[in-house]
Each structure stands twice: as structure tokens, then as C-alpha cells.
Amino acid sequence: MARPRVLILRAPGTNCDVETVFAFEQVGAIVNSVHVNQLIENPDTAAGNQILCFPGGFSYGDDIAAGRILAQQLKSHLNGLIDEFRSADRLMLGICNGFQIMMRLGIFFPGEERSPPATLTLNKQCRFEDRWVNLVASGSNCVFLRGVASMFLPIAHAEGRFVIKNQDVASRLLAQGQLGLRYALPTGEVTDQPLPFPANPNGADLNVAGISDPSGRVFGLMPHPERHIDFTHHPYWTRRHKQPDFGDGRLLFKNAVEFFA
């Protein structure tokens, strides 16, 4: 199988890049972790990469708002590169802070960047949440979610509540398969009605945990798949009678690599 190249973009405050490098390498990718200043100085560093990933953390301390400074830096200096990954037959992934950055870049809603139909904002309970959540993937157009039915992943964010402009927009995004990853009850039940806390850890509309663009090649999510790659990452792994071969998050990265097989 071909080994796609992954560009992981980090900045001051990024703190999940090493784990994300590990996750991609475990499924056969060749990974290059690059600081945003290096990329601005030499944009050719991105040449030959098939996957662009924005890892989690708190870029620039999340000053002003989560992901805003890095997003503005990218708009000002690397907008052409972002457009190239967005329009070519490549993949883009944003995890937690990376998802927040991508939302601020407007890349999930082509043609609607000036007035996006949805946003990420402060958790409904107005505090940072660090816990594990149940997730269900259904009706998704997303490359990263192929073969994924459910996942158990950790979240760690204060601004992860997905808010949709109105019901018409919600219906359109659902019909296009863009709202394919949702918070669920431990039983696996998912609904359009708000789930109670902590099943829905931030109060997101339609219990949305991750979204894709219309092509399905651009994906962002608030949970951290890179923190559940090995089965021993599971918080209750010593209590389970039968262990899976891998952690739930691994398939997401494997799908990205196999897209280029």
C-alpha cells in the first residue's frame, strides 16, 4: 500500500502534535510535523503531502477566542495552501483546537465563509470539560468515518458547543451528510433532541461532535481520537474480559491512509 505523507501543523500552545504523529505513523503514514512559522517562511514544505492535520491544544493560548489567532495567521499568509488542500483530492483533519481553527477558516461551508451557517462557541455550562464520551457515526459522507459505527473517546475543551443558525440549515447539513458524528448515550442511542449532560458534554445542537464539508474529505471533531489508539488507552481497560486489538480512534487515521491506497 502507498504511504501517504501527512503534514501536521503546530503553533505555540499546540500540545497534541506528538500523539497525532504517533497515531498516523501507527497506520503507515509518513509524517512531517511543522511549526507554522517554518511553513510561512517556506510554503514549499507542504509540497508532496496528501493530508493536512491541525492537532489539538491551545494555539496561542486561545487568546481572544479558541483558534482565532492561528486561523487569522493562516488566512493572511497561507490561504493559498489551505485552498489547495481544500480543492485538490486531498484530506484535511482538525482535532479539538484544530477543529476550532478550521471553523474560523470557514472551510466546511464553501461559499458561505462570510456568513457561516454554524459555529463553535463556549460550552453551555461555561466551563472546561475533560471526560470520555460515547459517539455514534451515522449518515456521514466523511472519508474518515468509513466503517465507524461508534467510538468511545476523550474530550477536553471549553469552546466545543456546535451551534446551528436555524432549523433549515440543520436539515440541509443533515441531508448532505455533514453532521455525521454525534454524542450518544452509553446504550448507543442518538437523537436530534438534546441529550442530558454529560452524554452531550457541551450542549451542542443536534448533539453534534464532528462535521465534514460537502466533499467528505475535510473533517473536524471535538473529541480526541489520537488519545485512544491502543486498547490500553481505554480508562477501564483492566476491567474488560475481552480486549479489542486497537483503540477506537485508530480506525479514523487508518481510513485517511487507506483513502490513498
Catalytic residue of the set 19, 53, 159, 224: 224
Active-site residue, 224 included? yes
CB 222 within 8 A of CB 210: yes
Residue 1's pLDDT band, with cuts at 50, 70 and 90, is low
Separation CA 224–CA 154 (nearest Å): 6
The pTM for the full model equals 0.96
**In the predicted structure, residue 181 carries a pLDDT above the cut 90:** yes
The pLDDT, as a whole number, for residue 2 is 75
Separation CA 27–CA 257 (nearest Å): 7
Mean pLDDT of the chain: 95
Separation CA 120–CA 98 (nearest Å): 12
Catalytic residue of the set 142, 226, 228, 233: 226
Nearest to 105 by CA among 77, 72, 81: 72
At 182-236, the pLDDT tens digits run: 999 999 988 889 899 999 999 999 999 999 999 999 999 999 999 999 999 999 9
H-helix or E-strand containing 220? strand 218-221
Active-site residue, 157 included? no
Catalytic residue of the set 96, 129, 228, 233: 96
139-156: average pLDDT: 97
138-150: average pLDDT: 96
Active-site residue, 53 included? no
CB-based burial, 174-212: b 16+ in 10 Å, e otherwise: beebbbbbbbbeeeeebeeeebeeebbbbbbbbbbbbbb
User: Coil, strand, or helix at residue 210?
Assistant: strand
Q: Which structural domain, as residue segments, surrounds residue 16? A: 5-258
The total of structural domains in the chain comes to: 1
CATH number at residue 182: 3.40.50.880
At 76-127, the pLDDT tens digits run: 999 999 999 988 889 999 999 999 999 999 999 998 878 899 999 999 999 9
